[in-house]
Amino acid sequence: MKYEIGLEIGLLSMEELRAFLSQRLRDSDVPYIYTAVFLTLDKGTEAVTETIFYNMQGNYIMDRAAGNTVQRLLIGVIGDKWRSGAIDREQCVRFLHRLTDYSECGWELLAIEEYYRLNQSGYSSDEEFGQMLDNILSQGLS
């Protein structure tokens, strides 16, 4: 699910998914969904996300237990990309905001885009916004 949501919000690339699946398919006990998704990689993002969705049996919105882990993993990916300079501040905020469509989240994640706009308009300091962003990113798993 991490890869489905990551692809849909534009955070993860097909190359990252291909690398993950190539590594996992070497294992002896591989879930069927990995094979199914690997076979659709050359058909594009839409085919991949449809395959994941079909194999997840429509469990699109994450429940609390699974959702919290997937959300934290994706926040970790966002944080890693932010710290490495692969994405800028605006992209970081956009990816965090897009996660709210897929999970039950705290108020900070729901409000991050609005706080970013306020910061850009000069209604909050860079330090205040930076602390909020750091707090959210600290919830991520690497």
Q: Please report the pLDDT score of residue 123 as a whole number.
A: 87
Kindly report the number of other CB atoms within 10 A of residue 32's CB atom. Answer: 8
* Contact between 95 and 13 (Cβ < 8 Å): no
Is there a domain that residue 9 lies in? yes
If 0-12 CB within 10 Å is exposed, 13-18 middle and 19+ buried, where does residue 28 land? exposed
pLDDT at residue 68, rounded to an integer: 62
d(CA 65, CA 29) in angstroms, rounded, equals 24
Sequence-ordered alpha helix ranges (H) in the chain: 2-8, 14-24, 32-40, 45-55, 64-84, 89-98, 107-120, 126-137
**88 residue type, one letter:** D
pLDDT of residue 85: 92
Q: What is the pTM (predicted TM-score) of this model?
A: 0.62
Give pLDDT, residue 76: 84
Tokens at 110, concatenated: 């729901």
* Whole-number pLDDT of residue 102: 67
Domain encompassing residue 80: 65-137
Give Cβ neighbours of residue 63 (< 8 Å, ≥ 6 apart): none
C-beta of residue 96 within 8 angstroms of C-beta of residue 78: yes
Is 60 among the domain residues? Answer: no
What total number of domains does the chain contain? 2
pLDDT at position 62, please? 44
Same domain, 42 and 92: no
Asked if the structure places residue 116 within a domain, the reply is yes
- Residue 129 CB contacts under 8 Å (≥ 6 apart), including other chains: 115, 116, 118, 119
What is the full per-residue pLDDT of the chain (142 aa) written as tens digits?
567 667 666 777 888 888 888 887 887 777 777 787 788 888 877 777 777 666 655 444 444 444 566 777 788 888 888 899 988 998 888 888 887 776 666 667 778 888 888 888 888 888 888 888 898 888 877 6
Together in a domain, 72 and 51: no
